Amino acid sequence: MTRPGFVLEVDRSTPPILTWHGEGYRLERLPPGRSRVIYPPEATEALSDPDRAIREALLNPLGDSKPLPELLSAGMRLTIAFDDISLPLPPMRRPDNRQRVIEAVLDLAAGAGVDDVVLICALALHRRMTESELRHAIGDRVYDSFAPSGRLLQHDAEDPDGLVHIGLTDAGEDVEINKRAAESDLIVYVNINLVAMDGGHKSVATGLASYRSLRHHHNVKTMRHSRSFMDPEHSELHSSNWRMGRLLAASGVNIFQIETTLNNDAFPASAAFLQKREWEWSLRDRAGFVASSKALSVMPPRSARSMFQAIKAPHALTSVHAGEVEAVHAATTRVVHRQQLVDVQGQTDIAIFGLPHICPYNVNSIMNPILVMCMGLGYLFNLYRGMPIVRKGGVAILSHPTPWAFHPVHHPSYIDFFEEVLSETTDPAVIEAKYEERFATDDWYRHLYRTSHAYHGVHPFYMWYWGAHALEHLGRVVVVGGDPKAVRRLGFSPATTLADAFEIASDVVGRDATISHFHCPPIMIADVH
Amino acid sequence: MIRESLSGKRVAITGATGFLGTALTERLLRCVPGSEVALLIRPGRRGAADRVRREVLRNNCFDRLRAQVGDGFEELVAQRLHVMSGDVGVDGLGLDAQGKDLLASCQIVIHSAATVSFDSALDSAVEINLLGPSRVAETLKDLQPSRATGSDSPHLISISTAYVAGSRRGSAPEAALSDTPWSTDVAWRPEVAAARRARADQDAKSRESKMLAGFARQARRELGAAGTPLLSARAEKLRDEWVHDQMVALGKARARGLGWPDAYAYTKALGERALLESRGDLPLSIVRPSIIEAALAEPVPGWIRGFRMADPVIISYAKGLLREFPGVPEGIIDVIPVDMVVASILAVAARGPLDEPDVFHCASGGRNPLRYRRLVDLVREWFQENPVADSSDQPITVPEWSFPGRQRVARQLERAGKSIGVAERVLQSLPVRGSRAELSARLEERHVEIDRALSYVELYGAYTETEAIFSVERLIELFDSLPEADRLEFGFDPDVLDWRQYCQEVYLPSVVSHARVRLVGSASRSSAPGGLSRSERGRRAVLSPDRQLAVFDLENTLIASNVVDSYSWLATRHESGWDRTRFVARTLREAPRLLAADRADRSDFLRYFYRRYEGAPVEQLRADAWEMFSDLVITKSFPAGIRRVREHRMAGHKTLLITGALDVVVEPLRPLFDEIVCARLSRRGAILTGELEEAPPTGEARAMIMADYAQANGIDLAESVAYADSASDLPMLEAAGHPVAVNPETKLAAIARRRGWHVEQWPKAPGGPRPLLPIGPRR
HSE-up of residue B386 (Cα within 13 Å, Cβ side): 15
Nearest to A415 among B630, B635, B639 (CB): B639
Amino acid type, B758 = H
B529 has a pLDDT exceeding 50: no
- Alpha helices for B207-227 (secondary structure H): 209-223
A191 has a pLDDT exceeding 80: yes
Q: What is the DSSP string of B447-477?
A: HHHHHHHHHHHHHHHHHHT-EEEE--HHHHH
Residue of B130 and B318 predicted with greater confidence: B130
Check whether the bond before A90 is cis (ω within 30° of 0).
Answer: yes
Supply the DSSP symbol for B161: -
Q: In chain A, which residue's Cα lies nearest the Cα of B638?
A: A408
**Phi, psi for A465 (deg, rounded to 5):** -65, -35
Weakest mean pLDDT among A92-96, A304-308, B563-567:
B563-567
Distance CA A331, CA A320 (A): 9
Q: What is the DSSP string of A182-220?
A: HTSSEEEEEEEE-STTSSTTHHHHHHTB-HHHHTTTSSH
By the 10 Å C-beta count (0-12 exposed, 13-18 middle, 19+ buried), B97 is classed as: exposed
For the segment A373-393, the average pLDDT, to the nearest whole number, is 96
For testing the chain B interface, which of A450, A452, A483 should be mutated: the one with the most B CBs within 10 Å? A452
A330 SS3 class = helix
Weakest mean pLDDT among A67-81, A412-426, B246-260, B306-320:
B306-320
CA proximity to B20, closest of B309, B452, B261: B309
B443 has a pLDDT exceeding 80: no
For the segment B126-144, the average pLDDT, to the nearest whole number, is 89
Q: What is the pLDDT of residue B262?
A: 83
Q: Do A406 and B769 touch (CB under 8 A)?
A: no
Q: In chain A, which residue's Cα lies nearest the Cα of B641?
A: A416
Q: Do the domains at B1-184+260-290+334-366+471-487 and B541-760 have one common CATH topology?
A: yes
A287 has a pLDDT exceeding 80: yes
Q: What is the mean pLDDT of chain A?
A: 95
Hey, which of A513-517, B305-309, B565-569 has the most confident mean pLDDT? A513-517
Helix H or strand E segment including B437: helix B435-464
> Are the C-beta atoms of residues A407 and B769 closer than 8 Å to each other?
yes
Q: Do B635 and A409 touch (CB under 8 A)?
A: yes
Amino acid type, A275 = Q
Residue B720 β-bridge partners: B549
> Are the C-beta atoms of residues B381 and B504 closer than 8 Å to each other?
yes
Chain A positions touching B768 (Cβ under 8 A) are 366, 405-408
Distance CA A119, CA A108 (A): 15
Closest chain B C-alpha to A409 CA, distance in angstroms: 6
Closest chain A C-alpha to B709 CA, distance in angstroms: 23
- Considering only residues 131 to 170 of chain A, which have any Cβ-Cβ distance to chain B shorter than 8 Å? 132
Domain B541-760 belongs to what topology?
A: Rossmann fold (3.40.50)
> Are the C-beta atoms of residues B587 and B774 closer than 8 Å to each other?
no
Q: What is the pLDDT of residue A459?
A: 97
Condensed to tens digits (0 to 9), the pLDDT of residues B734-744 reads: 999 999 999 98
A12 SS3 class = coil
All domains of chain A, ordered by start, with CATH?
6-43+340-528 (3.90.226.30), 51-262 (3.40.50.11440)
Condensed to tens digits (0 to 9), the pLDDT of residues A30-45 reads: 999 999 999 999 999 9
For the segment B213-224, the average pLDDT, to the nearest whole number, is 86
Nearest to A403 among B671, B672, B767 (CB): B767
Q: What is the pLDDT of residue A369?
A: 97
Condensed to tens digits (0 to 9), the pLDDT of residues B392-415 reads: 667 777 777 666 666 776 777 777
Q: Do B767 and A366 touch (CB under 8 A)?
A: yes
Residue A433's alpha-carbon distances to A132, A461, B136, in angstroms, are 38, 11, 75
Q: Hey, where are the domains in chain B?
A: 1-184+260-290+334-366+471-487, 189-258, 308-330+369-468+493-524, 541-760
A397 has a pLDDT exceeding 80: yes
**Phi, psi for B286 (deg, rounded to 5):** -120, 130
- Alpha helices for B119-175 (secondary structure H): 122-125, 131-143
Q: Do B626 and A451 touch (CB under 8 A)?
A: yes
Q: Do A408 and B639 touch (CB under 8 A)?
A: yes
B524 has a pLDDT exceeding 50: no
A195 has a pLDDT exceeding 50: yes
B696 SS3 class = coil
Residues of B with CB under 8 A from a CB of A: 626, 629-631, 634-637, 639-640, 642-643, 646, 668, 671-672, 764-770, 777
B330 SS3 class = coil
| Strands B335-337 and A77-82, bridge-based pairing | unpaired
| Residues in chain B, total | 779
Distance CA B551, CA B69 (A): 51
Measured at the CA of A478, the angle between CA A475 and CA A482, to 5 degrees, comes to: 160
CA proximity to A54, closest of A116, A119, A110, A99: A99
Q: Do B668 and A403 touch (CB under 8 A)?
A: no
Q: What is the pLDDT of residue B115?
A: 81
Residue of B170 and B35 predicted with greater confidence: B35
Distance CA B574, CA B617 (A): 12
Q: What are the contacts of B667-671 at 24+ separation with CB within 8 A?
A: B667/B622, B667/B625, B667/B626, B668/A447, B668/A451, B668/A452, B668/B625, B668/B626, B668/B629, B668/B633, B669/B554, B669/B629, B669/B633, B671/A443, B671/A444, B671/A447
**Phi, psi for A35 (deg, rounded to 5):** -120, 155
Distance CA A459, CA A243 (A): 23
Q: What is the mean pLDDT of chain B?
A: 84
Distance CA A348, CA A6 (A): 16
> Which residues does B189 contact at the CB level (< 8 Å), separation at least 6?
none
Nearest to A444 among B626, B646, B766 (CB): B646
Distance CA A449, CA B636 (A): 18
Q: What is the pLDDT of residue B526?
A: 40
For the segment A431-456, the average pLDDT, to the nearest whole number, is 96
Distance CA B53, CA B41 (A): 11
Distance CA A86, CA B56 (A): 73
Q: Do A408 and B765 touch (CB under 8 A)?
A: yes
HSE-up of residue B181 (Cα within 13 Å, Cβ side): 5
Helix axes B19-31, B73-80, angle to 10 degrees: 100
Residue of A390 and B477 predicted with greater confidence: A390
Q: Do A452 and B634 touch (CB under 8 A)?
A: yes
Residue of B216 and B305 predicted with greater confidence: B216
Distance CA A203, CA A248 (A): 12
> Are the C-beta atoms of residues A152 and A119 closer than 8 Å to each other?
yes
> Are the C-beta atoms of residues B192 and B131 closer than 8 Å to each other?
yes
Distance CA B249, CA B269 (A): 19
Supply the DSSP symbol for B118: T
Size of interface A-B (CB pairs under 8 A): 66
> Are the C-beta atoms of residues B218 and B238 closer than 8 Å to each other?
yes
Weakest mean pLDDT among A29-38, B43-52, B146-155, B561-570:
B146-155
Nearest to A407 among B643, B646, B768 (CB): B768
pLDDT level of residue B459 (50, 70, 90 thresholds): low
| Residue A408 burial (CB count, 10 A) | 26
Q: What is the DSSP string of B670-693?
A: GGG-SEEEEE-EEEETTEEEEEES
Weakest mean pLDDT among A48-52, A221-225, B535-539, B587-591:
B587-591
Q: Do B765 and A405 touch (CB under 8 A)?
A: yes
Q: In chain A, which residue's Cα lies nearest the Cα of B623?
A: A451
Q: What is the DSSP string of A65-92?
A: PPPHHHH--TT-EEEEEE--TT-SSSPB
Distance CA A272, CA B74 (A): 91
Residue of B358 and B419 predicted with greater confidence: B358
Chain B positions touching A408 (Cβ under 8 A) are 634-637, 639, 764-765, 768-769
- A452 close to B (CB below 8 A): yes
Distance CA A319, CA A338 (A): 11
Condensed to tens digits (0 to 9), the pLDDT of residues B69-90 reads: 888 888 888 888 899 988 888 8
B528 has a pLDDT exceeding 50: no
Q: Do B668 and A451 touch (CB under 8 A)?
A: yes
- A419 close to B (CB below 8 A): yes
- What is the predicted ipTM? 0.90
Distance CA A247, CA A241 (A): 10
Amino acid type, A358 = I
What CATH code would you report for B1-184+260-290+334-366+471-487?
A: 3.40.50.720
A526 has a pLDDT exceeding 50: yes
Residue of A231 and B591 predicted with greater confidence: A231
Provide the CA A356 distance to its chain's centre, in angstroms.
Answer: 13
Closest chain B C-alpha to A388 CA, distance in angstroms: 33
Distance CA B665, CA A9 (A): 61
Condensed to tens digits (0 to 9), the pLDDT of residues B246-272 reads: 998 898 888 888 888 888 888 989 999
Nearest to A404 among B626, B671, B767 (CB): B767
- A302 close to B (CB below 8 A): yes
Q: What is the pLDDT of residue B644?
A: 95
B93 SS3 class = helix
For the segment A138-148, the average pLDDT, to the nearest whole number, is 96
Distance CA A499, CA A503 (A): 6
- A363 close to B (CB below 8 A): no
B389 has a pLDDT exceeding 80: no
Chain B positions touching A127 (Cβ under 8 A) are none
